[in-house]
Amino acid sequence: MTYTASVVGGTGFTGGELLRLLAGHSEFEIEQATSRSKENKTIGHSHPNLRGLDLRFSDPEDLESVDVLFAATPHGVSMERIDDFRDAADTVVDLSADFRLDSEAQYDEWYDGHSRPELLETSEYALPELNRENLEGADLIASGGCNATATILGLLPLFEHGVLAGDERIVVDVKVGSSEGGAGGGPASSHPERSGVVRPYAPTGHRHEAEIEQFLGAGVSFTAHSVDMIRGASATAHVFPDEPVSKGDLWGAYRGSYEDEPFVELVAGGGGVYRYPEPKAVAGTNRAEVGFELDPGNERLVVFSAIDNMMKGSAGQAVHAANIALGIDETAGLQFQGLHPVGAP
Sheet strand arrangement including 169-176: 198-202, 221-227, 169-176, 233-240, 300-307, 288-295, 264-266
* All residues at 6 or more sequence positions from 171 whose CB lies less than 8 Å from its CB, including other chains: 220, 221, 223, 237, 238
Query: 57 a known binding residue?
Result: no
State yes or no: 14 annotated in a binding site. yes
Encode burial over 244-258: b for 16+ CB neighbours within 10 A, e otherwise: ebeeebbeebbeebb
- 99 has binding-site annotation: no
Closest CA to 77 of 62, 101, 92, 94: 94
Q: Which residues of 35-52 are buried (b: 16+ CB within 10 A; e: fewer)?
A: beebeeeebeebbeebee
Catalytic residues: 146
- Whole-number Å distance between alpha carbons of 248 and 261: 20
* 277 upstream amide cis, omega within 30 of 0: no
13 is in an annotated binding site: yes
Going through 22-125 in order, the beta strands assigned E by DSSP cover 28-34, 57-58, 66-71, 89-94, 124-125
The annotation places the binding site at: 11-14, 309
The annotation places the binding site for NADP(+) at: 11-14, 309
